[in-house]
Amino acid sequence: MKKTILITGGAGFIGSHVVRLFVTKYPDYQIINLDALTYAGNLENLNDVADAQNYKFVKGDITDEKFIPHLFSTYQFDGVVHLAAESHVDRSITDPFAFIRTNVFGTCNLLNAAKEAWKGNMEGKRFYHVSTDEVYGALDFDGTFFTETTKYDPHSPYSASKASSDHFVRAYHDTYGLPVVISNCSNNYGANHFPEKLIPLSINNIKNNRPIPIYGKGENVRDWLWVNDHVRAIDTIFHNGKNGETYNIGGNNEWSNIDLIRALCDIMDRKLQREQGESAKLITFVKDRAGHDLRYAIDSTKLQRELGWKPSLQFEEGLEKTVDWYLANQTWMDNIINGDYQKYYEKQYLER
């Protein structure tokens, strides 16, 4: 069936994998990728699909109150997969207002445009909001998990802004009948991850013999999921999820930061033909993150039972694949470090 789908934040880490899957798996869909190309947006992530017939990139900001309704009336979207966000906790500590603007106001601006565009005919429409497990706060080392009914208890400006956006998505469903779905996913890893985040930053530092900064004692636990498994879940939920529902997505794969980095150092020693233990010497404990959540762990039983999704990769295999991707794509990393990736828009869209 022909559909026109808006994907926001499609030049980012997860968004670029979502765009690729939708463009290649659904040739009948017209995919519009709306992205403001902030520091985190990189069109180089999408080189392989940039010229596809059913794909179009639009540079624009989700907070723009004139442009977003105009975009909805131009394209008559059947669905929205909303990923655009400020996504880095450390940046949210230094600049919380950027997170309020994009994650809260930007999401409301999209919700409102969808409500107005779909008024009187919501049949077959869908607004999918991609969110995070961080809205649930932090767990102790007590074997409990976040479920879809866990009370929201965000601690960082990032997680507070995502929690707020989730509330607005539900409010638009309950008040205006907007057909929404929400998913809350654990930490992703994989190709095209911006190198301010733990795994790509560490790979790059190990390769260049620079210190690997571990916050506090490295005891904080995250539940890591391969980005392609997250994207498969997004595809499943977008097409088969029930309106008004929330689905938790996770890898059932808990690692303390220090254990994860030690495992990564072992892989890097092998790949770079270093003596076993050499990369681990770069581990450096630094001042802890303010309000650092102790443990995240997702219970994804609902998604597995109701929609039949499950993670496909063991973490050790996924981490090895990820290291291989970064080592084979050094130019991608170099272009980010030297700032050239921000010229991609001009290269691809203004010079042709």
Where do contacts with ligand TYD occur on this chain (CB under 6 A)?
Answer: 89, 187, 197-198, 201, 213-215, 220, 222, 257, 289
Count CB-CB contacts under 10 A for residue 344. 20
Residue 61 known to be catalytic:
no
Residue from 30, 33, 54, 87 in contact with ligand NAD (CB under 6 A): 87
Complex with ligand TYD: residue 259 or 324, whichever CB lies closer: 259
Complex with ligand TYD: residue 46 or 89, whichever CB lies closer: 89
Residue 158 known to be catalytic:
yes
First-to-last C-alpha distance (Å) of the chain: 32
Complex with ligand NAD: residue 282 or 333, whichever CB lies closer: 333
Tokens representing residue 196 in the block = 């301010």
Q: Per CB under 6 A, which region of 36-44, 269-277, 278-286, 298-306 contacts ligand NAD?
A: 36-44
Q: Decide if residue 9 touches ligand NAD (CB under 6 A).
A: yes
Q: Decide if residue 246 touches ligand NAD (CB under 6 A).
A: no
Q: Decide if residue 248 touches ligand NAD (CB under 6 A).
A: no
User: In angstroms, rounded to a whole number, what is the distance separating the alpha carbons of residues 289 and 229?
Assistant: 28
Q: Decide if residue 12 touches ligand NAD (CB under 6 A).
A: yes
- String of DSSP letters for 173-239: HHHH---EEEEEE--EESTT--TTSHHHHHHHHHHTT--EEEETTS--EEE-EEHHHHHHHHHHHHH
Tokens representing residue 18 in the block = 């979502």
Q: Which does 107 bind (CB under 5 to 8 A by kind): ligand TYD, ligand NAD, none?
A: none
Residues 6 or more apart whose CB falls under 8 angstroms from that of 128 comprise 79, 80, 81, 82, 180, 181, 182, 183, 234, 237, 238, 241
CB of 72 to ligand NAD, least distance (A): 15
User: In angstroms, rounded to a whole number, what is the distance separating the alpha carbons of residues 34 and 30?
Assistant: 13
Residue 134 known to be catalytic:
yes
Q: Which helix (H) or strand (E) holds 349?
A: none
The active-site residue out of 29, 55, 136, 158 is 158
Q: Decide if residue 6 touches ligand NAD (CB under 6 A).
A: no
Query: In 3D, which of 234, 130, 227 has the Cα closest to residue 182?
Result: 130
The active-site residue out of 44, 61, 134, 166 is 134
Residue from 62, 117, 138, 267 in contact with ligand NAD (CB under 6 A): 62
DSSP 48: T
Q: Which does 36 bind (CB under 5 to 8 A by kind): ligand TYD, ligand NAD, none?
A: ligand NAD
Please state the φ and ψ torsions of residue 189, each to the nearest 5 degrees.
Answer: -145, 160
Name the β-bridge partners of 7. 33, 81
The active-site residue out of 44, 61, 133, 229 is 133
Catalytic residues: 133-134, 158
Query: Which positions touch ligand NAD (CB under 6 A)?
Result: 8-9, 11-15, 35-38, 40-41, 61-63, 83-87, 102, 106, 130, 132, 162, 185, 187-188, 194
